[in-house]
Structure 1
Amino acid sequence: MSHDPASLHARHQAVLPSWLSLYYERPLELTHGEGRHVFDADGNRYLDFFGGILTTMTAHALPEVTKAVSEQAGRIIHTSTLYLSRPMVELAERIVALSGIPDARVFFTTSGTEANDAALLLATTHRRSNQILAMRNSYHGRSFSTIGITGNQSWSPTSLSPLQTLYVHGGVRSRGPYAGLSDDAYIAACVADLEDMLQQTAGGVAALIAEPVQGVGGFTMPPDGLYAAFREVLARHGILWISDEVQTGWGRTGDHFWGWQAHDGNGPPDLLTFAKGIGNGMSVGGVVARAEVMNSLSANSISTFGGSPVTMAAGLANLNYLLEHDLQGNARRVGGLLIERLRAVSAGVGLVREVRGRGLMIGIELVRPGTDEHSPEAASLVVEAARERGLLVGKGGQGSSSLRIAPPMTLTVAEAEEGAELLADALRSVQGMTDAS
């Protein structure tokens, strides 16, 4: 059987959906990883600045996680939630304490999509309403319910939904009708928009769901304090707040352990969802909520794979490593250096409209030089050019025109500097191609 990536690509296309998109003209088969690096089937080594979509949170092949997984797998791999599980209870205890939510309960799932799906079920059941407030340009997953509240049209293939979704301004600071305002005026305008929308809705809205930093949306974010100001309005109406921390959780933003803490006006959200990084590649997701909200389901529910002994063991080992090595502090320090370096190297590049982000979540928005028009073409070319130089980055944002940079949180200063230089070279080469054409 051939180990050639081209032949594997042909086999992929023959048996998998056409919408299961792959990066690169010649898709990569990654065969192993170590630390912040991965290797392909041809033996090429890459500095990984995307971490399998922000999921390899600590490092590739982290010995502590690998050991926990193999030891647990040697004992028992699966039991289901119908039996007591020590690893699940232990991880839930840790997450409850870290969440900041009083009298919290945790329900484990296998993905962020499923976590957000569960949060929507809880909020709509508790509030007896199917109306949901969501942010423009948002992304919350690929299930039928989460697609129905996703504001980024590139990732929402149908408008059919069991929910009535109302989209609010505020997730994208530097575009849209309020972009020219000061931060305070921006927040005031977004709050006025929210108030106006609520006056025109029939019945009580169930919840606002929001990513503190929009992930697929291109690492855009509002000014600090926006969601605190929203909370004051929501509280008056009894509306719940769901903070989607699938990408912002566990200290990735550097400044805070959770993204919601940048807006800490009225304490923690009513519900918090998480996934991706906590399992360092094992499929772990979950929702944390006040007991009153979590316990509002009147029918039975279980999770066959959520809270599996192996994934819980991985999550515990990964979380312990993250806290013991202060990876949040590392994300703040090294991420701060990386964003400054990227701003410096982008200064003379006409393709770059904006370098934005927080900690180790950095977005670079690309445009057609001399305009404000999104350039998905440039983004694709830069992703390719970076790969040729041994650097893996992601893309997303409005019009798929933003580069997404989110390395494992153990990134070193030397690796940050190396990655910034490789990306600068990729940007300059694509700029040269654009100038030539």
Structure 2
Amino acid sequence: MTDELLARHRAVMPSWMSLLYEEPIEIVHAHDRRMTDSQGRTYLDFFAGVLTNSMGYDVAEIGDAVRKQLDTGILHTSTLYLIRSQVELAERIAKLSGIPDAKVFFTNSGSEANDTALMLATQYRRSNQVLAMRNSYHGRSFGTVAITGNRGWSASALSPVKVNYVHGGYRYRSPFRDLPDAAYIDACVADLQDVLDTATAGDVACLIAEPIQGVGGFSLPPDGLFRAMKEVLDAYGVLFISDEVQTGWGRTGEHFWGIEAHGVTPDMMTFAKGLGNGLAVGGVVARGEVLDCFQAQSFSTFGGNPVSMAGATAVLDYIKDHNLQANCAARGAQLLSGLQAANSPLVAEVRGKGLMIGVELIKPGTTEPNVPAAARMLEETKNRGLLIGKGGLHGNVLRLGPPMTLTADEAQEGLNILVDALKATHAALA
């Protein structure tokens, strides 16, 4: 059955829409943090649909909220009509953002949210010049591919904006990697200043950055980098956009938004993924004058639809009621310390915050990316009942982003599998 479905998939789906595993799986049922495939095998989920199923699966409070909306018969009205749940959720997000006089616009995805933020910044600043981080990823749309600093995800060299990339987000392979934190920040800020002074016409629209680079392998700079960068940006009037598509809603544990670790308030934040727990929802929260800068009419057909708003509101309530930010901090510390203690010769670095953990794999005794080991690790963990992801500039980083509801016992179960799989992978590739 799986082979037949795979053949049909390949016949009608694009070749660039990749699937995980040598033998891809079809998920047919899920509950809590476990998923079952069409062959009846059950897995502990440590990737959460790319950090989207943030609460896990079959959560009664979220299902009940969605069913209540479905019972009204209204799945969609469009933003041409008042939507009470949209206004109420926007009010909550505006307050949570910490951005002064904030307004919110809802979209269907992170790509669309980042594309909207780009359009707002370039309109507000009357400039098509954009700064982005090396090793970054911001989406699949034409505009967001243009600002993605990771060759593996840059499908086109064509661009609606002029982009320059700056250092800072990926420390392990940075030319400044051996500097202490303060000196690393100084070097990256000096690079930003140099790019502004030499590679641009001066009137740059924005810098967009992920507090923790998701597709880039959960890489992150020292805390405080973006505060120091924003001081430079403010001197030029350049807007700062924090891409919180993967880092938002308390997943990093120590803060509700990833950017808070840097002690700075951005001009705009984009969000998506975990807010919907599988429902299509994204958006931009920004200073009111920035979000209001369009001189033409616009609306969103599906963005902020009543069903997604009901589910997203229930997700926010669930995060608060179950103190999931604290749970992310505790479970993340458990996984980080356990992986670091494993001391595998394949592992160059275990990094991240909360339940965003990257494990960079190298060929033992070198810093050379170990792509075969990452591929093998996905198979070894799957065979032991654990689903993980991979990413990084070279595809050699294991990505762990379990649902935020992960329990201590489940964290230990997943950790044991990971350590065992590292040993098996090292032995197989030695």
Flag whether TM exceeds 0.5 (same fold).
yes
AA aligned to 2:386 is L
| Residue 108 (structure 2) pairs with residue 110 (structure 1) | yes
Aligned to 2:294: 297
Distance in 1, matches of 2:382 and 2:428, equals 17
Distance in 1, matches of 2:195 and 2:43, equals 47
Aligned to 1:136: 134
AA aligned to 1:422 is I
Aligned to 1:147: 145
Where has structure 1 moved over 2 Å in runs of 4 or more?
none
Aligned to 1:21: 18
Q: Are the aligned partners of 2:196 and 2:202 in contact in 1 as well (CA < 8 Å)?
A: no
| Residue 35 (structure 2) pairs with residue 35 (structure 1) | no
Report the alpha carbon displacement of residue 203 of structure 1 after superposing the two structures with TM. 3.5
Q: How does 1:273-292 map to 2 (within 5 A)?
A: 273-292=270-289
Distance in 2, matches of 1:398 and 1:369, equals 19
Q: How does 1:5-404 map to 2 (within 5 A)?
A: 5-75=2-72, 76-200=74-198, 201-264=200-263, 267-345=264-342, 347=343, 349-404=344-399
Report the alpha carbon displacement of residue 362 of structure 1 after superposing the two structures with TM. 0.2
AA aligned to 2:46 is F
Distance in 1, matches of 2:316 and 2:202, equals 41
Aligned to 1:420: 415
Structure 1 unpaired stretches of 5+: none
CA RMSD of aligned residues (A): 0.7
3-state SS of 1:378 partner? helix
Q: Are the aligned partners of 1:374 and 1:398 in contact in 2 as well (CA < 8 Å)?
A: no
AA aligned to 1:400 is G
Residue deviations 1:158-189, cap 9 Å, x none?
A: 11101111100000122221001010000000
Report the alpha carbon displacement of residue 338 of structure 1 after superposing the two structures with TM. 1.1
AA aligned to 2:214 is G
Distance in 2, matches of 1:240 and 1:81, equals 27
Structure 2 unpaired stretches of 5+: none
Q: Are the aligned partners of 1:210 and 1:243 in contact in 2 as well (CA < 8 Å)?
A: yes
Report the more deviating stretch, 113-122 or 153-162. 153-162
Q: Are the aligned partners of 1:50 and 1:392 in contact in 2 as well (CA < 8 Å)?
A: yes
Distance in 1, matches of 2:175 and 2:338, equals 30
Distance in 2, matches of 1:170 and 1:184, equals 12
Distance in 2, matches of 1:159 and 1:203, equals 23
Distance in 2, matches of 1:191 and 1:268, equals 17
Distance in 2, matches of 1:35 and 1:259, equals 25
Q: Are the aligned partners of 2:43 and 2:385 in contact in 1 as well (CA < 8 Å)?
A: yes
Q: Are the aligned partners of 1:136 and 1:170 in contact in 2 as well (CA < 8 Å)?
A: yes
Q: Are the aligned partners of 1:138 and 1:217 in contact in 2 as well (CA < 8 Å)?
A: yes
Distance in 2, matches of 1:416 and 1:65, equals 23
Residue deviations 1:238-276, cap 9 Å, x none?
A: 000000000000000001100110111xx4100000000
Distance in 2, matches of 1:88 and 1:257, equals 21
Report the alpha carbon displacement of residue 106 of structure 1 after superposing the two structures with TM. 0.4
Q: Are the aligned partners of 2:114 and 2:270 in contact in 1 as well (CA < 8 Å)?
A: yes
Residue deviations 1:288-330, cap 9 Å, x none?
A: 0111000000011110000010000000001100111110000
Residue deviations 1:61-89, cap 9 Å, x none?
A: 11111111112112111100000001111
Distance in 2, matches of 1:209 and 1:115, equals 12
AA aligned to 1:38 is M
Residue deviations 1:367-388, cap 9 Å, x none?
A: 1112111111110110111000
Report the more deviating stretch, 70-79 or 243-252. 70-79
Residue deviations 1:347-372, cap 9 Å, x none?
A: 0x211111111000000001111211
Q: Are the aligned partners of 2:168 and 2:174 in contact in 1 as well (CA < 8 Å)?
A: no
Distance in 2, matches of 1:121 and 1:398, equals 27
Distance in 2, matches of 1:114 and 1:350, equals 40
Residue deviations 1:112-146, cap 9 Å, x none?
A: 00000000000000000011110000000000000
Q: Are the aligned partners of 1:88 and 1:309 in contact in 2 as well (CA < 8 Å)?
A: yes
AA aligned to 2:309 is M
AA aligned to 2:100 is P
TM-score of the two chains, using structure 2 as the length reference: 0.99
Distance in 2, matches of 1:376 and 1:129, equals 39
Distance in 1, matches of 2:7 and 2:172, equals 41
Distance in 1, matches of 2:3 and 2:23, equals 7
Q: Are the aligned partners of 2:137 and 2:153 in contact in 1 as well (CA < 8 Å)?
A: yes
AA aligned to 2:237 is G
Distance in 1, matches of 2:58 and 2:207, equals 37
AA aligned to 1:411 is L
Distance in 1, matches of 2:420 and 2:318, equals 34
Distance in 2, matches of 1:208 and 1:152, equals 16
AA aligned to 2:84 is R
Report the alpha carbon displacement of residue 225 of structure 1 after superposing the two structures with TM. 0.2
